[in-house]
Amino acid sequence: MKRLTIKDPGQFLFAAFLLTLGTVGVIGATNLRMGIALRMGPGYVPVILSVCLILFGLAVLIRAMRIEGPPLGRWPWKEGGCVFIAILFFAVFIERIGLAAATIGVVVLASLAVPGRRWSKVCTFALLLAFMCVVVFKLLLKLPLSIFPPFMGLL
Amino acid sequence: MELFSNLLLGLSEALTLQNMLFCLVGALIGTLVGVLPGIGPLATVAMLLPITYSMPPVTALIMLAGIYYGAQYGGSTTAILVNMPGEASAVVTALDGHQMARQGRAGPALAIAALGSFFAGTVVTALIATIAQPMTEFALRFGAPEFFSLMVFGLVGAVVLASGSILNAFAVIFVGLLLGMVGIDVNSGMYRYTLGFTELAGGISFVPLALGLFGIGEIISNLDRGTQRTIIDSKVSGLMPTKADFRASSGPIVRGTALGGVLGMLPGGGAVLSAFSSYTVEKKLAKDPSRFGQGAIEGVAGPEAANNAGAQASFVPMLTLGIPSNALMALMIGALIMRGIQPGPQVITSNPELFWGLIASMWIGNLMLLVINLPLIGIWVSLLKIPYKYLFPAILVFSAIGVYGVSNSSFDVYLIILFGALGYFFMKIGVEPAPLLLGFVLGPLMEENLRRSMIVSGGDPMVFIQSPISLTLLVLSLILLCLVLFPNIRTKREEAFREE
């Protein structure tokens, strides 16, 4: 009997993901009526799908233990973090600071992800893009967004 | 003669000033993203979906379709000139196209690629126009069991024809199906998996899901890899191919068009599969296969015709049956549903101007691409100089504004983060996320049709076997499955995707 080792880390993570999602799916459906095939309740199909996901997860898990796969390498925490924080910034502040400032914020935060940036260039680009977004989204497409912070009472 | 009156209706719709303008805009944007590596048509369509919200549905579809086939043109340009396929479907074009460019024959390669694409676009437009009507009439006879089996066939086909592990593809489809269950259940009014968020009552929004999976995941992946651009100043002189070039490429173009027209319609098919298959076919047919990879014009002509034919043919199942054959078509269906149009065989009669207008616009769009692309090649190539560090913040901003603009709530913007993380996770572990979108779109439809079938049959699952159409579709799915599990064909399939 050989010791069990993870031979394919990527597939192992995928199996973990499927098993988690399937379990959450089953738990989340416990308050839903299952019903029978003739009169399916709201829980019928979701439970079947969740159970299938768990089975798929097990199959992927077995494969990850048996077939060699490539190593995963490093995770881009910094790059991913910057991208997500930039989007988060937009979501949180768009209603408070308006389109122009939100755009500038996103560009500045996202630019933290790349090495060797020059802030003067980043800021010029941010201003340019903010101007463009105002023209395209506010003036041409007329999206219901305010351009400047609403408390300033401008546009 | 009904066909002609239909096409006339389509042309009158497609030739309005507004539709022509957005057809051109779509074609140009498509070419742009086709040229730029790191952003594909899928992410672009997802990004522009919110913007099309203020347009009439037909205009929106015309523009989004233009992006798809425009990207096929654009991808070949950079593949030939700088050996950088901006699009997956242009990977094979780069093999021989770039060799031709190095031999100083970039002009003829580009011209043949554009002419081949245009020929394919014209033929497939005619093909769609002729088979759409009979196909919808056939599909109108479908009841719930037939539709359910058709969707099963579509999903199985998508898995079989996709690259990579079949187990993974199935698992990803089921993830999509389950995500499609989120929201209020139409039959019972119960909330499913909404975790207390009222924003999820109507289901997970389509746009942040698609944008996160394909757009944001790709951005992080690019940042991680570090995109270095090698800029080669290539001068293009003498566009005209020689007589011998024309003679050598006419066969491959016709074969590529036929191949793309058929493969594009299959579930899971589309531009990429068509291009790869065409290259393999031409190499097999060639008298001297060793010329391939050394600048054989056949290796440019065939795949270029095939990828454009495949891109356009994949609209057929979407328009006539309401079934997406690939992730991009799933987006198109999303665009229609967002506007309150349920795609399916009834669209051709309930919205004829939408149906025929879109088809006519494809031909016009192809003509525009032919005319605008060749003279503008210099501009497209110079666009490659835009550094990624400026490109990606702009994409982020457009995505966020677009998603916020549709729902006017920050909730969907948060969802981009969630699905962006999921998209990157899939990319990192080498799992193709595209089938998820198919499952997500088909999930609610499949559940509804399954329910109806069961009510009609009194809970008897035999109903799927008793209907001849449904039985045929299920048997076909089974055959497809056996084919891939059968080792011999499996290696062939892997070969076709590894042809590089």
Helices H / strands E in chain A, number of each: 4, 0
The answer to whether the Cα torsion of B237, B240, B245, B250 is positive or negative is: positive
Measured between CA atoms, the residue of chain B closest to residue A102 is B397
Contact B370, B111 (CB under 8 A): no
Nearest to A42 among B190, B393, B450 (CB): B190
Task: Please report residues of A whose CB lies closer than 8 A to that of B430.
Answer: 10, 69-70
Least CB-CB distance to A87: which of B400, B424, B429? B400
What mean pLDDT is predicted for residues B179-196?
87
A20-29, B205-214, B467-476: least confidently modelled range? B205-214
Across all residues in chain A, what is the average pLDDT?
A: 87
Distances, alpha carbon A11 to alpha carbons B171, B217, B435, B439, in Å: 12, 18, 17, 21
**Which residue out of B179, B181, B182 would a mutagenesis test of the A interface target, given it has the greatest number of A Cβ atoms within 10 Å?**
B181
CB B30 within 8 A of CB B47: no
Where is A92: in which H helix or E strand?
helix A77-111
Per-residue pLDDT band at A2 (split at 50, 70, 90): low
> Which structure tokens are listed for B5?
């009156």
B23-82 residues touching A, CB cutoff 8 A:
51, 54
Please check the confidence at residue A13 and state whether its pLDDT lies above 90.
yes
Torsion angle (degrees, nearest 10) of CA B339, B52, B422, A19 = 10
- Compute the average pLDDT of residues B452-464: 86
Yes or no, beta carbons of A14 and B171 under 8 Å apart = yes
User: Which of A126, A134, A136 is closest to A155 using CA atoms?
Assistant: A134
Which residues sit opposite A40 in a β-bridge?
Answer: A35
Triad B188, B193, B196: Cα angle to 5°: 100
Q: Which residues contact B414 (CB under 8 A, 6 or more apart)?
A: A88, A91
B178 touches chain A (CB under 8 A): yes
Q: What is the pLDDT of residue B286?
A: 83
Helix H or strand E encompassing B130: helix B106-139
Q: What is the mean pLDDT of residues B399-421?
A: 88
Q: Give, for B192, the enclosing helix (H) or strand (E).
A: strand B191-192
Q: Where does residue A142 fall: left (phi above 0), alpha (psi -120 to 50 degrees), or beta otherwise? A: left
* Chain B hits for A59, Cβ within 8 Å: 167
- CA–CA distance, B98 with B105 (Å, rounded to integer): 9
Q: Which residue has the tokens 């969802």?
A: B415
Q: Which residues of A touch B414 (CB under 8 A)?
A: 88, 91
Q: Which residue has the higher pLDDT, A4 or A43?
A: A43
Whether B228 contacts chain A with CB within 8 A: no
The C-alpha atoms of residue B338 and residue B53 are separated, in whole angstroms, by 8
- The residue of A137, A140, A142, A145 whose CB has the most chain B CBs within 10 angstroms, and thus the best one to mutate to test that interface, is A137
Nearest chain B CA: its distance from A55 CA (Å): 9
For residue B228, the model assigns a pLDDT of 53
**Residue A155 predicted with pLDDT over 70:** no
Residue pair B25/B62 in contact by the 8 Å Cβ criterion: no
Residue B326's region, left for phi above 0, alpha for psi from -120 to 50, else beta, is beta
C-beta atoms surrounding B499 within 10 Å: 15
Q: Which of A28, A87, A137 is nearest residue B413 as measured by Cβ atoms?
A: A87
Residue with tokens 């205009």: B59
- Measured between alpha carbons, how far is A46 from B31 in angstroms, rounded to an integer? 41
Q: How many CB atoms are located within 10 Å of the residue B2 CB?
A: 7
Q: Is residue A28 scored above 80 in pLDDT?
A: yes
Report the residue of chain A nearest B218, measured CA to CA.
Answer: A80
Looking at residue B189, the DSSP 8-state letter turns out to be -
| Shortest Cα distance, chain B CAs vs residue A49, angstroms | 6
* Chain B residues in contact with A141 (beta carbon < 8 A): 51, 54, 405
Mean pLDDT in residue range A75-82:
89
B101-158 pLDDT per residue, tens: 888 888 888 888 888 989 998 999 888 888 888 888 888 888 889 889 988 988 888 7
- Give the whole-angstrom CA distance, residue B335 versus residue B486: 38
The residue of chain A with its CA nearest to that of B390 is A125
Task: Give the pLDDT score at B500.
Answer: 41
Question: Distance between CA A148 and CA A6 in Å, rounded?
Answer: 53
Which residues of chain A does B223 touch, with a Cβ-Cβ cutoff of 8 Å?
Answer: 76, 79, 83, 113-114
Distance of CA B498 to the CA centre of its chain: 20
Count of beta carbons in the 10 Å neighbourhood of residue B489:
13
